[in-house]
Amino acid sequence: MCIRDSLKASLLFESLDERVFRIKITDSQAERWEVPIYNPDARKYYKQHLIKDMGLTYTSPPYKFELADPRTKQVFVATTDTTDTTLYLSDKLIEYGLWFPGDAIFGLGERVNPSFELCDGPYRDCTYTSFNKDIDMPVDRGHPPGGKQSYGHQSFYMVRLKNKQFVGVFFLNSNAQDTIIKRRSTGINVNHKTIGGIVDIYFFYPGAAEEVIKSYHSFIGRPYLPPMWTLGFHQCRWGWKTLDKVKSVVKEFGKADIPLDVVWADIDYMQDFKDFTVNNVTYKGLGEYVDQLHTMGMRWVPIIDAGLKYELNDIYYKKGEEMNAFVRSAYTKKTLIGKVWPGYAVYPAWMNVNASILWYMGLQNLYDQVKYDGIWIDMNEASNFCHGECGLDNTEGTDGTVHGADPHDPKEFDNLRYYPGDASLLTKAISPSGYHVVTDPYGDKFYKEFNLHSLWALHQANVTSRFFTNVQKRRPFIMTRANFAGIGMFSSKWLGDNHSTWEDMQYSIIGMFNYQLFGIPLVGADICGFIFNTTEELCARWMQLGAFSPFSRNHNVNNAKDQEPYNWPLVAKAGRNALRQKYSILRYYYTKLFEVSLHGGTLVKPLFFDYPEDDKAYEYRNKVFMIGPAVLVVPVLEPGAMKVTTYLPNQNWFNLFTAEQIYYFDPKAKEGKEITLKAGFDYVNVLIKGGNILSFQEALKEKVKRVAVLDNLPLEVVVAPDEKGEAKGNMIFDSEKAVNPIASKEYTEITFEFSMKTMKMNINTTGKYRMNKQVENFNTLTILGAESMAHVRYACIRGKSGKLASIPGVYLSAAKKLVFHQNNGIYWGNIVCIAFTNNCFQ
């Protein structure tokens, strides 16, 4: 069904390649707002493909279409004549509906999902709102009318088809919108309902989940590569009121023998909560102390808020006014005034290049005072404590709103016929009638906040990233709260102001999964919870789970009790050991992060992504998580539990830290089985899947406290054979000083292929980068489940010019593992293969 109300539809079909298809519907009579493609390589990876080969069937009017996968000839998306899938075009209300022959749907951020699957529960009709909003993260179960979204606007989702393949859908629209899902026995209806812009939808054709996600990331921009130290442990607190308090926290970590890599600063360090300032009374000597942290192998990251202080003699306000660099008020044509932590505030107008210049100036001024290692951007939805705009006499009106007509477009946003989420656009936000001015030789251009609001954080992250790469010539580390599609090219993400509850701890797993879809792999929740007081048991279990999150940071609100892990013996023990378990496989973790930056895809993921046909694996979608293809983490999610149950698909599985084989592949079984594991506070159940090879370091044994120490620890390669006695894996080393080692090719990859049948491991090295650190040398090789190799006495190391060394092996019968070790390492790049035999001289 198609209704055209004041707009004349113009429709475009476009194929980006044989597996990506675009449908664009706009007004043929007038120009409308279209979201720019921020990825400069968006079309570099695609080649135009003949539409006739894309499986398209189209009828116009009434604008009906369906797409079939050319590989299978099966329809995977269509429009229908039902009221669930209408096309409705008007200036401030656009609807477009789709039907999928699927049974589950995932994505659509940002929100706190109680399940990775959307609309997962008794409610079969759900509404999810997308519009960046500063809100204390309510649980969003999709109950109509919606409105429970939080900081980010992510309109990508995947539908699981009934053949267990996945199709990706990206609705490129930055305006406030609802996505209405109706699950039926015949499939899933999805209705997109927005109040601006155009219909611009990209379909990523059916395939494995990882395949679809990689294709989407190639379009929006593959994630940037943060430094390896960002995978270490971070500690923060809103309420460290003095530098002496920060110093005492760092000392207590040392006394408790708990790893700590990065110290963070919330707004306490600022002078009157103003960006780019340091309080030289309560934080006197901060610059010198951060220099000291650097000598200790630690880093420091400060918070920066979105709004700059509105103060006539403030350097940034004065300069910004001169440059016309702030968002303007439609009521006065002067700078729009909001309110955040420093009081009355103004906001950079990112569409104007002068805003970038002003931001660079602030970042450089702060760096001149204290040598920070990354930037934490908060309140960048952008948030506003006033209702749209503060009173022009610097006092809010009765409702915090400036009343009057809009001189650009009077009352344009009053009395809209539809409000997504049934919520005001003004709540804790800049007025939608605010605008950015861009000076142009042919006349100034005006860009409304109505269209730009959800893009605010994306622009800010882009500018901040360019400051690191173009001005400081170093690799960026940026942590954002608000977000839009493509921000992963510039920034990482933490999951916002969560709560100290067992439920929120489990929800953090789902949040990590969602942001893998959205292209932001380095993600994690505030460990132990931000709001409310945590408990010793909850914090201990959260430290165990959070240690294995990509981004591991403990942080809480200023009016809650201290929750640094050393405050409880149990939490200290749990955190100390869990973090060192993670550090033991940090080279593997970083290798997988590097691959995601190189190719797109997920860093952590639900078990069923690798086993789409296994319904039992799907049941554990909210409880366990994979790190890359090899590692399964099984956290404790319930109070009082000293055991944990997980499901293992039918494959060889080993305990990574004890070498015990937990599960043996059964050729007669159609599926795996559930197993119960002991779950103390001194370890996390971390399993390695058969068929994989990963790098390992003795961080537990060596009591590692910093990621930097790992460069000087010997490297062990762990082989976990599959049922065929085979395994493969890789390691990647790069230059820490490289701004973008992928672009500059300053990295080396080492790949392994192992076979028990041929008793050989082939090794291939690509790349020219070499740092000559201990970690890059071969010292130890461990083969798990090696009963059939118990007789082997030597590993014969061969290089390009012949034999390099013979290393004796020891078979440990209790653990059923075969270990080869030598004290003097051999550079991996010089090794071609390792043969296992009883005599290297034959």
Type of residue at 741? P
Instruction: Give backbone dihedrals phi and psi of 286, rounded to 5 degrees, phi first.
Output: -60, -45
CA distance 393 to 622: 51
Catalytic-role residue among 117, 211, 378, 734: 378
Within 324-476, residue ranges assigned H as helices are 353-369, 449-452, 456-466
Q: How buried is 807 (Cβ within 10 angstroms: 0-12 exposed, 13-18 middle, 19+ buried)?
A: buried
**Token duo for residue 717:** 């390669």
Instruction: Give backbone dihedrals phi and psi of 457, rounded to 5 degrees, phi first.
Output: -65, -35
Block residue for tokens 């395949």: 211
344, 326 contact by CB (below 8 A)? no
Question: Is the peptide bond preceding residue 348 cis, with omega within 30 degrees of 0?
Answer: no
Shortest CA distance to 553 belongs to which of 819, 340, 234?
234
Within 221-267, residue ranges assigned H as helices are 243-256
Asked if 381 is an active-site residue, the reply is: yes
Asked if 716 is an active-site residue, the reply is: no
Residues 6+ apart with CB under 8 A from 725: 755, 756, 757, 788
CA distance 3 to 62: 9
Asked if 378 is an active-site residue, the reply is: yes
Within 241-284, residue ranges assigned H as helices are 243-256
CA distance 512 to 706: 24
Residues 6+ apart with CB under 8 A from 302: 264, 265, 269, 366, 370, 372, 375, 376
CA distance 831 to 779: 12
CA distance 574 to 462: 37
**Token duo for residue 219:** 């379009």
The three-class DSSP label of residue 296 is coil
CA distance 827 to 424: 62
Type of residue at 381? E
Catalytic-role residue among 110, 211, 381, 734: 381
Residues 6+ apart with CB under 8 A from 521: 223, 488, 515, 550, 593, 596, 597, 602, 603, 604
Neighbours of 49 (CB within 10 A): 17
Residues 6+ apart with CB under 8 A from 624: 509, 606, 607, 632, 633, 634, 635, 646
**Token duo for residue 680:** 């103390």
CA angle 720, 726, 731 (to 5 degrees): 60
Type of residue at 66? E
**Token duo for residue 246:** 């920060």
Q: Which residue pairs from 512-516 have beta carbons closer than 8 angstroms and sit at least 24 positions apart in sequence?
A: 512/549, 512/550, 512/604, 512/625, 513/106, 513/116, 513/604, 513/605, 513/606, 513/625, 514/106, 514/107, 514/109, 514/110, 514/113, 514/116, 514/154, 515/109, 516/213, 516/601, 516/602, 516/603, 516/604, 516/605
Whole-angstrom CA distances from 186 to 82, 102, 449, 627 are 13, 8, 40, 35
**Token duo for residue 766:** 């690509």
**Token duo for residue 208:** 């494995």
Catalytic-role residue among 497, 734, 749, 776: 497
* Measured torsion, CA atoms of residues 136, 138, 140, 141, in degrees rounded to the nearest 10: 180
**Token duo for residue 192:** 């997109």
Mind telling me the catalytic residues?
Answer: 378, 381, 497
